[in-house]
Amino acid sequence: MGKKCIICEADASYKIKDTSDFYCAECAEEHFADLTLLVKVEEEAQRLRQVLKEKIADLEKDVATLKDVPND
């Protein structure tokens, strides 16, 4: 997907929690003494993948429930 650092436009590897501000490792360290405020882009991507997986599982459950309804 290639998010860019909002400061130097290098490839971003960090993101501020609950915002869409992305930073490369260098700028993140420079601007934030506490990197725990930042999440790794890869971790965020994994979290989103997990959320999607759960949503898809829910939808599949709904579809399975619909199929169980008698036809008449």
Footprint on this chain of Zn ion (rule: CB under 5 A) = 5, 7-8, 10, 24, 27
Is-contact 20 48, C-beta < 8 A?
no
CB of 41 to Zn ion, least distance (A): 13
CB of 42 to Zn ion, least distance (A): 17
CA dist list (Å): 6 to 10, 46, 53, 58, 63: 8, 22, 30, 36, 42
Closer to Zn ion by CB, 8 or 48: give it. Answer: 8
Which amino acid is present at 16?
Answer: I
Closer to Zn ion by CB, 7 or 45: give it. Answer: 7
